[in-house]
């Protein structure tokens, strides 16, 4: 039995999108009426941490440079997405701060019209040095991943002794006005789950907005097990041992259910991506560092833009490929269903 919250996945009835004269006019619709507004762009699959829920200790066979989009290619594609109605561009990876040209890319995206909001999801290592320059280039805000504030637990979970760098990165982001500074955390059973209330207290003291994300089957090792996952319900119970949580407003297309902590103004978010999927309100589309468009983190298909782009495709051809991929978007990810299979690409090569 799959949980009541998850309906069977529906594939689009007609996988061929009807042709229209103006290809950009309708935005990035799918057959279920959802319209993509949020583009996640992976800048690299490389990373300087080895979080156990993401990749193995030895790392992964990283993409070779010629496989990756150049800055020019990437900016051209992001520009096409903005013409198609994208309102927010989130830079991610792998670790986006490892892309040396990051400030130039941010500045290039900030030149697009209508100017999209520019956000970044990062582990924060090195941000202490670059936050100001990134803010000046046009970065609007950041989500920094931090699963624990205990040094030994951080080392166990990320397999690197870099807690101080992440903490310095967070402080620099706040100082540079990349606000609200959000913190993303994944709770792992018997690793960091006993410290979730400490992490929340620490974030509240510093004015960071903490959001917990349920662990998803996107690790390169394919070791995820539903039974081992700390669910949103369990997490909320753990936080409620120390804090009073009051639900805040409507979720809309935002994946996090937000709660006021001890009457506010501080809040905490819980993203129940597995136990209560928000696929029905999904407004996301993804571009990988090697130029593939994915309509979902969990999609098993993707469409190549890099090949056609390097063979001289014009914008109209690329628009058609992007729109076609959105048209093939399924109704949901189906993690809880018996026939679910994990996508071949791990999270670090898709862009989280």
Q: Which does 331 bind (CB under 5 to 8 A by kind): ligand SF4, ligand SAM, none?
A: none
CB 271 within 8 A of CB 279: no
Gap between the Cα atoms of 106 and 274, Å rounded:
32
Query: Any idea which residue has 């048209």 for tokens?
Result: 327
Out of 30, 95, 209, 290, the residue judged to bind ligand SF4 by CB under 6 A: 95
- Please say which residue, 147 or 325, places its beta carbon nearer to ligand SF4: 147
Which one of the spans 51-59, 266-274, 290-298, 316-324 is the region binding ligand SF4 (CB under 6 A)?
A: 51-59
**Residue 124 in the binding site for ligand SF4 (CB under 6 A):** no
CB 224 within 8 A of CB 342: yes
**Residue 217 in the binding site for ligand SF4 (CB under 6 A):** no
**Residue 55 in the binding site for ligand SF4 (CB under 6 A):** yes
Vertex 295: Cα angle to 290 and 19 (nearest 5): 105
State the minimum distance, in angstroms, from the CB of residue 120 to ligand SF4. 12
**38-42/209-213 β-pairing:** unpaired
Q: Which does 184 bind (CB under 5 to 8 A by kind): ligand SAM, ligand SF4, none?
A: ligand SAM
Gap between the Cα atoms of 259 and 245, Å rounded:
5
Out of 28, 39, 49, 106, the residue judged to bind ligand SF4 by CB under 6 A: 49
- Please say which residue, 299 or 348, places its beta carbon nearer to ligand SF4: 348
Return the SS3 of 77: helix
State the minimum distance, in angstroms, from the CB of residue 224 to ligand SF4. 14
- Please say which residue, 122 or 299, places its beta carbon nearer to ligand SAM: 122
Taking each helix axis from N to C terminus, what angle separates 71-83 and 102-110, rounded to the nearest 10 degrees?
Answer: 30
Closest-CA residue to 73 (of 321, 316, 349, 308): 308
State the minimum distance, in angstroms, from the CB of residue 55 to ligand SF4. 5
- Please say which residue, 123 or 130, places its beta carbon nearer to ligand SAM: 123
**Residue 94 in the binding site for ligand SF4 (CB under 6 A):** yes
Vertex 234: Cα angle to 352 and 160 (nearest 5): 45
CB 330 within 8 A of CB 296: yes
State the minimum distance, in angstroms, from the CB of residue 196 to ligand SF4. 17
**209-213/182-185 β-pairing:** parallel
Give the binding site for ligand SAM (CB under 6 A): 47, 53-54, 92-93, 95, 121-123, 145, 184, 186, 213, 215-216, 218-219, 347-348, 352
State the minimum distance, in angstroms, from the CB of residue 44 to ligand SF4. 9
- Please say which residue, 99 or 238, places its beta carbon nearer to ligand SAM: 99
**Residue 289 in the binding site for ligand SF4 (CB under 6 A):** no
Taking each helix axis from N to C terminus, what angle separates 102-110 and 127-137, rounded to the nearest 10 degrees?
Answer: 20
Chain-centroid distance, C-alpha 352: 3
Q: Which does 192 bind (CB under 5 to 8 A by kind): ligand SF4, ligand SAM, none?
A: none
Q: Tell me how far CA of residue 292 lies from CA of 52, 135, 287, 300, in angstroms.
A: 25, 28, 6, 12
CB 119 within 8 A of CB 150: no
Provide the binding-site residues for ligand SF4, judged by CB under 6 A.
Answer: 47, 49-51, 54-55, 93-95, 123, 145, 348
């Amino acid at each position: 039995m799959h949980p009541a919250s998850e309906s069977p996945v529906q594939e689009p009835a007609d996988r061929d999108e009807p042709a229209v004269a103006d290809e950009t006019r309708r935005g990035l619709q799918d057959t279920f009426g959802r319209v993509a507004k949020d583009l996640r762009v992976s800048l690299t699959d490389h990373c300087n941490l080895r979080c156990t829920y993401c990749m193995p200790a030895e790392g992964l066979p990283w993409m070779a440079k010629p496989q990756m989009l150049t800055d020019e290619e990437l900016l051209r594609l992001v520009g096409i997405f903005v013409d198609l109605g994208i309102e927010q561009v989130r830079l991610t990876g792998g670790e986006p701060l490892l892309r040396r040209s990051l400030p130039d890319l941010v500045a290039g995206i900030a030149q697009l019209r209508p100017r999209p909001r520019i956000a970044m999801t990062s582990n924060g290592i090195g941000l202490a040095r670059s936050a100001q320059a990134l803010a000046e280039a046009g970065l609007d805000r950041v989500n920094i991943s931090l699963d624990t504030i205990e040094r030994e637990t951080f080392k166990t979970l990320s397999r690197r002794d870099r807690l101080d760098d992440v903490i310095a990165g967070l402080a620099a982001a706040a100082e540079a006005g990349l606000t609200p500074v959000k913190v993303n955390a994944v709770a792992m059973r018997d690793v960091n789950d006993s410290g979730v209330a400490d992490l929340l207290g620490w974030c509240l003291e510093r004015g960071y907005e903490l959001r917990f994300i349920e662990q998803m089957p996107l690790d390169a090792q394919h070791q995820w097990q539903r039974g081992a996952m700390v669910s949103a319900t369990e997490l909320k119970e753990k936080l409620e041992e120390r804090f009073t949580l009051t639900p805040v407003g409507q979720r809309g297309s935002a994946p996090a259910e937000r709660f006021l902590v001890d009457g506010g103004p501080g809040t905490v978010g819980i993203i129940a991506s597995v136990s209560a999927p928000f696929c029905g309100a999904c407004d996301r589309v993804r571009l990988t560092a090697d130029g593939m468009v994915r309509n979902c983190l969990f999609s098993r298909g993707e469409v190549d833009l890099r090949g056609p782009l390097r063979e001289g495709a014009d914008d109209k051809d690329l628009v058609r490929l992007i729109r076609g991929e959105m048209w093939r978007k399924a109704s949901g990810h189906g993690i809880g269903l018996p026939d679910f299979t994990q996508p071949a690409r791990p999270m670090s090569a898709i862009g989280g």
